[in-house]
Structure 1
Amino acid sequence: MCGSEREWGPDTAAAVEDAAGVPCDQAVGDEALPAPAPVTGVAVFGQWAKVTMAADGGTAFLAMFHGGWRVVAAGCHGRGDRPYDCELCEG
């Protein structure tokens, strides 16, 4: 499992590991994710949430699982009318 089971969605962790060909913890560390930044916005849509960070902290998407919220995509940046481009995601 990638990091704490309380951090990443199970499909996200598996996809990151499969794409990188290395253990998930190493794959996440190798990604060019934005530096941590203060949260500037949260929008919840049922079992899904979008968390926006300050400056170039990007956006993260979360999903509700048994036991709480987990990250399903991180290092995401908007592209106008097109879907977000994410450094780490499940698909």
Structure 2
Amino acid sequence: MLDCDTRAADDQELISMTVIQLISLISTQFTNAGLVFGHGADNAEDEAFYLVTVVLNIPHDEAEAYFGDTVSVEDIARIQELVSRRIKDRTPIAYLVNKA
């Protein structure tokens, strides 16, 4: 599992991460960080889903069709940077992705 402030040393692990695995990972990170929700999402899983689908330009109503897709290392890094900012600064995701 990735730490919210560091990237995994093994890029092979990142290359094989799917959309649903990334959502699950981020949900766990948000829960473990003790974040407060309420700016659109009311729980860690919904907020992780929103972040991943917005950054990857996945239509929310069609997201399930993309769950098995592999996420690129570059996209994982971009998303993890936002996750780190969300946890460290407590900035709502909507502000981080310019959708507020």
- The structure carrying a bigger helix percent of its residues is 2
TM-score w.r.t. structure 2 length?
0.30
- The structure carrying a bigger strand percent of its residues is 1
- The structure showing larger relative contact order (alpha-carbon pairs under 8 Å, at least 6 residues apart) is 2
TM-score w.r.t. structure 1 length?
0.32
